[in-house]
Structure 1
Amino acid sequence: MSKNFDFSQSLYLKQAVLTFLLAIFLSVVLSCLQFYQVLKYQKAQRIEEINQLLDVIEEPLEQALFRIDKVLAQQQVNSLLSRSDISKVVILDENGAQFVASSVSFAKPNLSKWLVDVLIDEETGQSRRLEMVSPKLFLGSITIRLDRSSLAHQILTYSISVFVQNLFKDLILAFLISLLFYYVVTRPVEQLTRALSNIPDTGRLTLPKSFEKDHKYDELGRLKGVFSKLWGRLSTALADVERSNLHTKAIIDHAADAILLLDEKGCITLSNPAAERLTGQTSEQLINTKVSSLYDDPWISMSEILADMHLDQSITIETYFISHGKRIPVEIRIAKYEIHRVVEIVLLVRDITERKSAEERINRLAFYDSLTRLPNRHFFVERLNELLDELRINRRQSALIMFDLDRFKNINDSLGHNVGDELLCKVVGAITPLLPEKAMFARVGGDEFVVLLPEFSQEAGEPNRSLVEISKDILSRCNAVKKVGEHDLHVSASIGICLFDGSNETSTSILKQADSALYRAKEVGRNTYEFYKEDMQAISDEYLKMERALFLAMENEDFELYYQPQNDASGRLIGAEALIRWNEPTQGFISPAKFIPIAEEIGLIVELGEWVLHQALRDVSQWRAEGIWDDSLQVSVNVSPMQFQHAGFMQMLKSAIETFNVPPHCLDLEITENMLLSDSESSLDLMYQVRSLGVSLSIDDFGTGYSSLKYLKSLPISRLKIDQSFVRDLLSDHSDEVIVLTIIAMAKALNIDVLAEGVETQAHQNRLTDMNCTLYQGYYFGKPSPAHLFSKAWLSVVNV
């Protein structure tokens, strides 16, 4: 037991004290009950004793009264007064007169009158009638009074003696019970308690052998078993809690996001290493720091957010933290909760710099063209719709300029997309400085651009002057030579312009109007601008209809090759030109001059040109198989600049010659001189590759382009074809005659053959012969005809 014994801590002392108190209480209660019984008994016993005395002296007193012998009566009274508890005796005669009376005084016990009154009734005594039995005669009465104080003293003395004896006995019993309780209960409990308190040190519940022996099967033994099981569970639970705590700490320490724990005032009470890395401050520096000192955002008040949050509520905000002196975007997940009546706030802070960069990239991809960095079609349409809403309120006029690069597909397909992309960037870089500050410059297609002018000036007498000036500047910048890698590229642009005020237009209708004007600019010769007019929409619709019909015709192979003979001065056949014809089911024959430019615009010309080449070689191969084709003849096939400069052209040409087994010299490819302007070096290299195969090259429509002697003398060509526009008016127009003479003289000087197109009369042939031109093609010799008719009319004759 402890030296400094504490009543509140000792079960044994509590039990002992309570046992002794209970013993005293019970002893007092029982003594009180016993005192009450003793009191009744003593009183009854005294009465009984007096009655016995009266029985003894009754006869003598009766005789004394009968004989009126007061001496005898006095003797009897004195015998009664010899008792210590009788204080007075009175004898009355038959008349009630006092016969004899006597009293005695005793030493008064030290008792209060109140106590005596409580213990002994005030009238305590005994009276008896004195009478003779025979004869029946009343003689008088005797009254005996008891001394109350003496009687009370006797009773108290006896009761106190009994109480002391009972108390001593009860205390001895209480002591024995306490001692027994100590050895039976308290001591084993103390041993069990001491063993439990030593469990953390020993790791197991160790008790004396006596405990195991004496309490193996009783309640304490079962309690020990329960404690052992509870300790096992508690040990497991503590181990789990420790593992959970270590696991939680590891998660917090290794979390990629910064974790900050705040108190209700917004001060940091805990931080993890990620928070230290994010803020550039140590944990010691962060503790007790206001979280508001870490972020830099005038639009967000963290204190107001924390104050307005409810318990068990979580929110996510985006703001900026100061990290290493820099302002970085972060996402903060805030949760507010209460544990043990203490409000805490946890902040999960994530650096979203990469996400913001990704969002910006996505935004650029969604709204900006990745190549030119200009707004894309989606962004432009949104801005146009916003502008239309403004115009419906402000009632002012706006304009849209749409342009694309003429024959850009030719450059893109022949020189590669890298060259085409760089060319577009150079065009954008040249045009951007020309545009007004409020203009929106956007790329809405491959080589299609728009300029949106929310406001533009219209001076008196010169309507749309500013639009005209802007358009001319765009054309001028596009026409300038562009150095792209090793290539000097020449491009032009076609521009369509439409005006609108937002009254009835939609973004779709405005774009359609500008596109119609653009198409009109291409129709009139490209490299110009056109304002939208009402009738242009029908032309645009017709253009779209033609596009769809071309794709369908290409899919169904609705085209057919016609052949026009080529002759010498004697009229002998030297070859034929393969000409494509399209007999559209609903419109009939459509002129190549109408559908070929559209095929070039929509990128179908390469596929169409490949079909023409394959079909021409297939026909020649069949004629050779029939024995009606002389290998000295040549079939001329027109090749567009886009097809000629296509990356796969040479491979396609080689494959076609091998497939149909036609001698290469039987094939003549006709190209236009304008093709040399786009990229002369690349074109020249391709021409040499074609000549290396044994295939001939001719320049078609010579004289209509911009060829110079510098190009002409270096070209590996075998023939020039004079354009029919010069031959048609040869007899009446002196200028045409001079041009034809010059072309023939130049070709002869360079040892190049010359073939005149559009020879329709004998006079045309005679004049050309006089000019020393000996090769002809035209209606005078024969019109273009299908393969089967051409072979019958010309090849059979040659064979014969």
Structure 2
Amino acid sequence: MRDRLSAENQDLRARLAEAEETLRAIRNGDIDALVISNDQWLGERLFTLEGSDASYHALIESMSEGALVLTAEGLVYYANRRLGEMLKTPHQTLPGTAFKQWIKPIDHPWFDSLLRQDSTLPAHGIEIILVATDGSEMPCHLSVSVLPVGNDQVYFSLVATDLAEQKAHQDRILAAERLARSILDQAAEAIVVCDRTTQVVRANALARQLCGVNPLGQFLADALPLELQSGARFDLHEFIGDHDHHPFEAHLALQDKTLTLLIGIGPWLGSDGSILGSIVSLTDISARKSAEEQIFRLAFYDPLTGLPNRRLLEEWISHQTVQYIRSGRHGALAFIDLDNFKTLNDTRGHDVGDLLLKQVAARIKTSIRESDILARLGGDEFVLILAELDSDPREAAHQAETVCAKIHREAREPYVIDDYECRSTLSIGITLFGKHKTSLDELLKRADLAMYQSKASGRDTWSFFAPEMQQALESRARLEERLRLALQDGGLWLAYQPQIDRTRHLIGAEALLRWKDGVEGMVSPAVFIPLAEETGLILPLGDWVLDQACAQLAEWAKTPETAKLTLAVNVSAHQFQQPDFVARIRDVIARHSISPNLLKLELTETLLLKDVTEAAYKMEALKALGISFSLDDFGTGYSSLAYLKRLPLDQLKIDQSFVRDLLEDSSDAAIVDAILAMARSLGLQVIAEGVETTAQHALLLKQGCNAFQGYLFGRPGPSSQLDSALA
């Protein structure tokens, strides 16, 4: 008997050695189950606890998995301590009990099949649910081995691994996956995740909608054949691994329309930081682009003729003069006015006059090159820019004269308007530009003088800007000198025009520079401000205005009624572009000890667009001090959402040119509506300037404007004048 027991225990030790090696492999993550060796003894114990057997017992008892041996009838023959913990019962009480009672009923059929040995055991075990004494359930992975013990009888060795934490972890992963999928599907933009080969591995609902089909497994270029603005095909390969790029626009042609999409690309990173692919976002900005184009056309094109207006012309001149200074070539500006147009309008009506203007515009366009620009200023006035003329001024003048002669010949032919035949002639004034940087205003003044010379010569002809017309320019030079003296002698002062809210309460004012000249009396800002900008006087003028404005804020702070009034100050492009502009503002605020949040700087679109990045940097620095910003003359520039979103603006100022004809011109009303809608979408305030009538005020209120400035509420005047507005 002792010999047989020794032999059986020796065999058991060999099997447990194998179990120890297997357990080590489990803990190293090499395998997921432990199989306990069989015993061939049918006595009361599976192994003895004497001598070296104690180490194997300790091994099994220290396992983090539950271990047990079942008889062929399903009774517990042996159970380790961990199994007792899992079942929440002392493990010493388990031998002799039916193991089936600890198994959830749904898994009973499998257990019965195991005892009958009528099914093949799973190669990697099986997952079942154990039910503890207190009724709690524990998901387990059960590894099973059959232990032949002789006489055709078997025992079963089982290792139960607690899967509760693993299941909880899997549930958390699944929940996170569902949450991520839900967030992606609810995103307002299409999102596509691609691997390094650009194959789509995930796409949210909007992306699938854009593709028309589920794009999973397709290459992005096939699923979404995007076209860049350059006309090239979009290739994601060029962006993989590139972290430094800005969103860009692309077009996607669908069956019934073409969408404009804003494309953003970011890296898809693995847990170790390696790049697994790309995350591509596609935002449909078609409606926004359409709105921008509509605003652009309303702001830059004449609605009657479709020609560029003065605003676009000014942008073009500014660009071209710089080029011509570099190249040495000339351009010419021709101011074209219809002769006796007022008579036609008064006798035949405005409808006939409008039709004539459209036909005149069409004829002029047939007489010029594609590189030339024809614009309509308003009424019966057109401006023609002749581009790329000769570097020799005499030859350039001859080229301009040749074009104008052709225009005259075409214009003399009769016009047929609604079966009515009429004739019209043109008076043209021409001036060359290119040798020096000259503003559109200056060129128009020169050409206008020349045009009136044509009128004085009997109409239906053209004239060049002549030397004798230089008298006006000399007068301008004398005015410049007196402006310099005014800076020193105190001839300048600030006028304050009230700004009110929708309840007509005074909320602040705009500081406006005024000049009383000893020779000419009051000089219009429209005259001396451009002069100051051209001569560089705008810099000392700007410093003087800021100093006086801050001094006024300090004075207002002494009285409770005016202590909270804001003061808007216009800043010129020359001022803003100074490298130390931020420091200058900081110094003047400190010098007068004012609250920065009461100072508002008014900037123009042209100023900001010169360098949007630099402008944003300076504005952010001033914003940190508490200063606010208003975009002056909004709507007269590009009015693009792209740059508005990049700048820390607080307010848009509707230009008075839109307010003036708000009730008569549907285009101006549409522009105002568009500006207010854009401001609401960006969370910006809006103020309308140039409000002169109650009807204008009422319509602006109805459209949703909340702040106003204009003669209706008070003309610019001394600060004491604001007392009546406060009252």
Q: Same fold (TM over 0.5)?
A: no
Q: TM-score, normalised by structure 1?
A: 0.37
Task: Say which one has the larger Rg.
Answer: 1
